[in-house]
Each structure stands twice: as C-alpha cells, then as structure tokens.
Chain A
Amino acid sequence: MANNPHAQTYKGSTTFSGPIKAGSRWLDVPNYDRTTVPGTIAVKDLPNAGFVVCSQSCAVEQKAAAQTATDINLPSGSMILSIQYIVTAAFTGTKKDLIMYLDPGVPDEWRVLTPSDGTGGGLPVLDAVGVYNVTPNVGDTRHVEAWRNISDDREADHVEGRSIDVRQDSTNDGDGRCIVTINYVPGMDLPNA
C-alpha cells in the first residue's frame, strides 16, 4: 500500500456516521399508485431528499503484491456509483492493468469490482498517464450486483453491518502508480432486485 500524500492536507473536520441526506421533504408518504400517470399524489407532497455521494481514494503501486489491502474500507450496505483511476505513472510490463476486489474476509467469496481481463478487454490498459473510468465486471452477475449493494445478503460470507475491505491486484511488477477513487453512498442497503 502506498502512502497517500494528501492524507493530512484533506483531513476531514466535519464527520457524520452517515448516510447524509438533503432535501426539503424526507418523511415517508402514503403509498401511491406507481403505475398510474399522472400520479395520484402531487409531486409537492412526495419526499425529495437524496443521498450525499461519498468517495474514498487510495494510492496504489503496480508492483504491490497481489491482493494487497488498500486504504479503502466501505461501510456496510454501500452502493458503488463509479470508480476512477488517475494514473500518475504509466503501468509497464505484460499486463498493464489494475483489478479491485471486495474482500469480506473469506478469500473464496471475493467479488470483483472491475473487469478481470488481464490483457485489456473491458479493463483499461493503463499504459499512459491520465484518467480512466472503470466499469463493473460483467462476467458474473454477482459482481455487478456488488456495485448495487456491497452487503448482498445472498452471499455466503454476508455478515449484517460489517464494513468491507477493498484490495488491489495488478499481477505485475511494473512501475505504474495511480490513485483509485470509489464514489459510493453508505448505508443505502438496497434490497435484492
């Protein structure tokens, strides 16, 4: 794990357990008919509070050992909205990529947050400095559903209320470096689709 050079500069001063919501109406309203248009309840009577988007970032090195822990630890029930790599030193070697995993504590039950094609495919080839947006791993639906709710209670390793570590795997000993940012909403805990 590389040191985050900005850890002190951006030390937070206002902290909530979260999730943080904002809107002029947030109380539940009576059931309304979702299939009737126009709605049976005026929009001014519906809750309009949304969730504040949170992010965590970590610095990673390509040469780190496989499955190295990162500084990112996501709260239980988080929904992942997007993942971004900022490559500050181009990756080198045969495989110029970076895979991120959710590690709930049981290695066989890891879920992959990024495509896992080591030669490219849906996984960005990080052979140049720049910003890369990363998509979910579509090879298995459970990996996509991990974005929806990292604490999917259908997973064998599920423990209610437990935060989940994020690990990295670059499968190479090259010289690449980058900042990984995960944007998420804590505690949304969406039910199974």
Chain B
Amino acid sequence: MPTTTFAGPVKAGGISTSTGNILGENVANQGFAKMVQVAQVIELGHVGTGNSVWTDIVIPANSQIIRMALLTTTAFDSTYGYIYVDDDRPSDPQIGAVPGLTIGLSESTGSLVGDLGKWKDVGTSDIHLSYHIGSTSTGTAGVGTLIVEYVQNNNLTA
C-alpha cells in the first residue's frame, strides 16, 4: 500500500489564522491529526528497570501523549502482568503502565498513568520508549501490542 509521509505535524481545517471573531469565517479552526505508533511487547519474565526492553516507538520532541493502551492477544503472568512503559532515560519516572493480565484491550488510566509531565509534553528531545515488567514475574508467554497515540509537536506549556 502506498505511503505518504510528511515531516509533520499534519493539520486540517479551513481557516489557519484568526483575523476576527466570526466563527466559520475568520476564526482559526485547524486541528492536529492524531498520530499513533505501535510495538509488539513480549513477556520475558521479570524485566527490571535496569534492563528495560526497547520498543520500536520513538515519539517526536514536544509531542503530547494522549493515549497508551495494550491489545493483549496472549495473557501475561496473572500476578505480575503489568507492562511499565519507560523512556530512554531509565532513571526518570515511568510514563505509564498497562495491564496485560487478560486477553483484550486495556488502557493506561487513573493510577496507572505515570509521569504526567511526559503526557503533556515529552520534552525538547525525541524519546525512545522501552518497557519493563512487574517484579518477580516468571511468565514468558504473554504477547501484546502496545499502542501509543500522540499529537506531534503540540508543545503545550500549561
């Protein structure tokens, strides 16, 4: 299938700049295209933060992370099957966690969300995502697809 690639961010809307206050005529209405990268996650027993496993996901600088989820196709260890997503600086707080305990789709929400600052803005450099698995896990069968949705170069400052 053909692929069209842009440097991004990709935006769409009929009015790019506000020049007045009449909706639909001169008030900017462009939005960002939502982006996604996915990576396969495999259970490897206990994987500590010191030897996190790299994914193929690299989030561009200044992006806003808006969703992290796991589509589990083979369940992870029923006791410790939480996948913790880190960036390329393992000493930093984890970005989020997703449970892979059962087959299906699970989201990183509520207390599973880690470093909120990274969700708001990943920072001035790209971040390379890795993952580790809950302590003392011994399972090796789990398979899932990590889904990370983001807005490229939103550069939020709040």
Residues of A within 8 A of B (CB): 14, 16-24, 26, 32-39, 43-44, 46-53, 75-77, 79, 81, 135-136, 138, 141, 144-145, 147-148, 185-190, 193
Contact = CB atoms under 8 A, between A and B. Distances in A.
Given A47-B58, A138-B102, A148-B145, A52 B34 contact: yes
A53 B38 contact: no
B3 A18 contact: yes
11 contacts: A19-B1, A21-B6, A23-B8, A24-B8, A37-B54, A43-B88, A50-B150, A135-B105, A138-B103, A189-B1, A193-B74
A73 to B, nearest CB: 15
Given A23-B60, A136-B71, A138-B103, A43 B5 contact: no
Most A CB within 10 A of own CB, among B4, B60, B74, B104: B104
A35 B128 CA distance: 13
A54 to B, nearest CB: 9
Contacts of A48: 58-60, 126
Contacts of A38: 88, 90
Q: For B7, B35, B147, which residue has the most chain A Cβ atoms within 10 angstroms?
A: B35
A140 to B, nearest CB: 9
B33 A52 contact: yes
- Does more than half of chain A's interface fall in helix, strand or loop, or is it mixed? loop
Interface residues of B, number: 50
A190 B128 CA distance: 20
A-B pairs with the 4 shortest C-beta distances? A22-B8, A187-B1, A50-B35, A48-B58
A79 B88 contact: no
Interface centre among B36, B51, B74, B125 (most CB of A within 10 A): B36
Contact of A21 (B3, B12, B54, B59): B3
B103 A26 contact: no
Nearest to B1: A187
Interface of B: 1-10, 12, 33-38, 40, 50-55, 58-60, 69, 71-74, 88, 90, 102-105, 125-128, 130, 143-145, 147, 149-150, 152
Given A22-B7, A39-B128, A147-B71, A193 B36 contact: no
B144 to A, nearest CB: 8
Contacts of A136: 71, 104-105
A142 B69 CA distance: 19
A42 to B, nearest CB: 9
